[in-house]
Amino acid sequence: MSSGAPVPAPTPPPVPAAAATDPPAGVDLGAATDPLAGLDLAAAATPGTWLELAVAADFEAVEAVSEILARAAPGGTSVEPAFELVDEGLAARVDIARPAQVRAHLPLSDAAAVRAAVERAERELGHLQAFGLRPIGDLTVRIVREADWANAWKAHFPVMRIGRRIVIRPTWRRHRRLPGDVVLALDPGMAFGTGLHPTTRLCLAALETLADRGVLTSGGKGGGAARVLDVGSGSGILSIAAGLLGARSVLAVDVDPLAVAASAANARRNRLGRVIRARVGSSPSGDGPFDVVLANLIASLLISLADGLAEDLRPGGTLLASGIFENREVAVAEAFRARGLAIVNRWTEGDWVALEAQRPV
């Protein structure tokens, strides 16, 4: 659920001549701040190094700003509109009330030429800002390297603690384990479900609560460890957490074969290959009933799968459902109650809700 990938800017019309020459009479541009201040371009000018130019611009000013930056960077520009999530977080639409980011990149092979191009762009942007037609931010710059682009995504996956004991560790990072830590080693590049999204964090926190109550270690048949079903397993993060927290066995099902492969690989990485079984499927699984069912989906899927989820749950069993937008909580809860399930707990983070439901004995 990202905010959206950069999209190409439309071919812009030329900037009006007045915008590229003189501001309106009586307007003082003032002393512009040098965006290159503190940067040693000559020292940074190595193969594979670029200077990124960025400007925040009102939606209606994007074309004019793109034209200016394109003159500085012949390779073209990119536009990153602001987005808002819709359709239960599965889609996004452009929010024209918020500024877009216009970016361009200059190869740092000739420091003098780059400085001249930046100064020209800064000057032309200043003229455009002086007209005050639409809000335009200041020009900012930063040095980027091709190697940074290749690995930059990894910076967004830190070691993360969720609740008191659960720790998500990306496979390339180290973590000093504390007493009681339950550490999940995960490769987030394989499938959705890394612990970064609120819906996953909510489900992990709820799972830790179940573990604290002994549901995973002694909530199964005859007081033994629990059998767990993970519907829509993604990367397998919830299955792995359940296994490490004491579940006897976990069935991870997903309709996406890539997610199934990711769940299986991550299970092996966490030495749970004999505890977690991953396969293509959904709910009802045909392998129930289970002591615990995990379903980190979206509200519409939780409602459509409510019959199957209830069927997969044994009497006295527990369902953890996440991926619910706050304004859809009532509809999901009503669907569960209509199948005889009782809502006994809830967790929230931002606009998201997770529910704990139980099937009466």
Would you state the pLDDT for residue 4? 38
How far from the centroid of its chain's Cα atoms is residue 353's Cα? 17
29 or 234: which carries more pLDDT confidence? 234
Q: Counting Cβ atoms within 10 Å, is residue 26 exposed (0-12), middle (13-18) or buried (19+)? A: exposed
Q: Is the dihedral of CA 309, 310, 313, 319 positive or negative?
A: positive
Q: Is the dihedral of CA 13, 18, 22, 24 positive or negative?
A: negative
157 or 313: which carries more pLDDT confidence? 313
Nearest to 24 by CA among 16, 32, 35: 16
Q: How far apart are CA 312 and CA 293, in angstroms?
A: 7
Q: CA dist 223 to 80, 220, 251, 356, Å?
A: 54, 5, 20, 21
334, 278 contact by CB (below 8 A):
no
Would you state the pLDDT for residue 158? 79
Please state, rounded to an integer, the average pLDDT across all residues of the chain. Answer: 84
Would you state the pLDDT for residue 194? 57
Q: How far apart are CA 33 and CA 79, in angstroms?
A: 24
Does position 348 have pLDDT exceeding 80, yes or no?
A: yes
How would residue 234 be classed by pLDDT, with cut points 50, 70 and 90?
confident
Q: How far apart are CA 121 and CA 20, in angstroms?
A: 10
Q: Counting Cβ atoms within 10 Å, is residue 139 exposed (0-12), middle (13-18) or buried (19+)? A: buried
Does position 44 have pLDDT exceeding 80, yes or no?
A: no
Which of 19-23, 101-105, 152-156 is the least confident region? 19-23
7, 93 contact by CB (below 8 A):
no
325 or 22: which carries more pLDDT confidence? 325
Does position 238 have pLDDT exceeding 60, yes or no?
A: yes
Note if the pTM is more than 0.95: no
Average pLDDT over residues 51-80: 88
Strand-pairing partners, residue 160, are 168
How far from the centroid of its chain's Cα atoms is residue 19's Cα? 39
Neighbours of 52 (CB within 10 A): 14
Question: Tokens 């030495």 identify what position?
Answer: 271
Does position 6 have pLDDT exceeding 60, yes or no?
A: no
Structure tokens of 252? 């991870």
Would you state the pLDDT for residue 336? 98
Nearest to 108 by CA among 36, 37, 49, 52: 49
Sorted by where each starts, the structural domains of the chain and their CATH numbers stand as: 7-153 (no CATH), 157-358 (3.40.50.150)
Would you state the pLDDT for residue 56? 94
In tens, the pLDDT along 161-216 reads 888 999 988 888 888 888 999 999 987 554 445 556 788 889 999 999 999 999 99
Task: Report the chain's C-alpha Rg in angstroms.
Answer: 26
In tens, the pLDDT along 246-289 reads 999 999 999 989 889 989 999 999 999 999 999 999 999 999 89
